[in-house]
């Protein structure tokens, strides 16, 4: 467990690196000049007609799913790569079967054009 | 001490998942939960799982939940805070939950109250670990791909179904992508295309002149 000491140092320093530049402007910013009406959106003086949001395109969700599916593929490849002398070729071939099944899915995604941009 | 810090932060974050007013906050609060559980796994000595937990749970699961919340057109509406209306039924369900937790909690290895540690419980030392200790990855990989290979191949089928299902459900016919016809592309004679452009121009100009 002592090999995680650099990780703990990293976990302390990296939030400091982000939080210190983030919080330095706050004592110097003047908050008295902003009020809620100033911060709201401007629509030529009219009251807001509606929400400013558009309908969410579901292709963004497909992008995230198409990352999530090969993510366990890589995760399962990590413990395979270490004990390769102990698992006989049976272990390698079972991993190849696993990768082949997921390759079929990847092939379907390719031919269907799910990850093409328009 | 680290155990109590991590677990209490995980519990507080888990509570905030339920109690947050903004639904996006409610989806973002599992992230500290997963981080703290990853720290707890490190304390248990499961270093591989502690590293995979943020990758899989935050990167895949929390992101999926976040997308779902983003797709619903949720405005931060005012919440009718009527806790008392739901108190009888929710109180009964909460009591059942706590009653079941006590089955797990109150035994010798997980003491409920801080009692004195009795010295009769044996601690044994695994000497094989001191000669050459196996890493977490090594022990997992030794068994997963050989003895439990069928259980290892079943998730691949589940992932295949998920991939095909996601594509079938979200792609409509209107996403028409311009594709290259590869064989046709290779069969084009370049002289014909260049000359054809020039001859077309000549034909058009001659037609205009004649009319």
Q: Is residue B79 very low, low, confident or very high in pLDDT (cuts 50, 70, 90)? A: low
Mean pLDDT per block of 10 residues along chain A (118 residues) reads: 81 93 88 77 79 78 91 93 90 94 93 79
- Count the domains in chain A: 1
The whole-angstrom distance between B175's CA and the closest CA on chain A is 7
User: Tell me, what's the pLDDT at B110?
Assistant: 63
Flag whether A118 is in a domain: no
| Proportion of chain A above pLDDT 70, given as a percent | 97
Domain that holds residue A11: 2-112
Cα-flanking dihedrals φ and ψ of residue A46, to 5°?
-75, 165
Q: What is the pTM of this model?
A: 0.75
Q: Mean pLDDT over residues B88-93, rounded?
A: 89
> Which helix (H) or strand (E) covers residue B172, if one does?
none
Of A113, A77, A92, A26, the C-alpha closest to B55 is A77
Considering A23-37, B18-32, B141-155, the range whose residues carry the highest mean pLDDT is B141-155
Interface list for A 31-70 with B (CB within 8 A): 51, 53, 56, 58-62, 64-69
- On chain B, the residues whose CB falls within 8 A of the CB of A62 are 166-167, 170-171
Q: What is the CATH number of the domain that holds A34?
A: 1.20.58.1610
Of A99, A102, A100, A92, the C-alpha closest to B145 is A92
User: Whole-angstrom Cα distance, residue B188 to residue B37?
Assistant: 61
Flag whether A54 is in a domain: yes
User: Whole-angstrom Cα distance, residue B35 to residue B58?
Assistant: 8
Flag whether A117 is in a domain: no
ipTM score above 0.85:
no
CB–CB of A97 and B156 under 8 A? yes
3 state DSSP class of A43 = strand
């Amino acid at each position: 467990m002592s090999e995680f000491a650099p990780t703990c140092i990293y976990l302390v320093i990296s939030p400091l690196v982000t939080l210190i530049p983030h919080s330095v402007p706050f004592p110097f910013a003047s908050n008295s000049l902003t009020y809620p009406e100033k911060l709201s959106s401007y629509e030529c003086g009219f009251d807001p007609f509606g929400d400013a949001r558009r309908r969410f395109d579901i292709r963004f969700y497909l992008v995230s799913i198409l990352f999530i599916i090969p993510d366990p593929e890589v995760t399962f490849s990590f413990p395979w790569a270490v004990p390769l002398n102990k698992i006989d070729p049976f272990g390698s071939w079972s991993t190849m079967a696993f990768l082949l099944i997921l390759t079929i899915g990847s092939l379907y995604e390719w031919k269907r054009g799910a990850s093409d941009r328009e | 001490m680290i155990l109590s810090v991590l677990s209490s932060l995980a519990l507080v974050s888990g509570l905030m998942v339920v109690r947050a007013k903004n639904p996006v906050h409610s989806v973002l609060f599992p992230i500290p939960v997963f981080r703290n559980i990853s720290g707890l796994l490190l304390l248990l000595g499961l270093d591989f799982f502690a590293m995979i937990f943020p990758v899989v749970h935050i990167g895949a699961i929390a992101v999926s939940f976040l997308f779902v919340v983003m797709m619903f057109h949720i405005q931060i509406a005012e919440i009718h805070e009527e806790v008392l209306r739901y108190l009888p039924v929710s109180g009964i369900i909460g009591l059942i939950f706590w009653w079941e937790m006590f089955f797990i909690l109150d035994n010798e290895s997980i003491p409920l109250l801080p009692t004195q540690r009795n010295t009769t419980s044996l601690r044994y030392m695994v000497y094989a670990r001191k000669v050459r200790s196996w890493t977490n990855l090594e022990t997992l990989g030794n068994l997963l791909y050989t003895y439990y290979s069928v259980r290892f191949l079943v998730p691949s089928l589940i992932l295949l179904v998920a991939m095909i299902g996601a594509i079938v459900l979200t792609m409509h016919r209107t996403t028409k992508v311009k594709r290259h016809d590869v064989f046709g592309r290779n069969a084009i004679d370049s002289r014909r295309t260049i000359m054809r452009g020039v001859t077309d121009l000549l034909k058009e100009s001659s037609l205009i002149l004649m009319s």
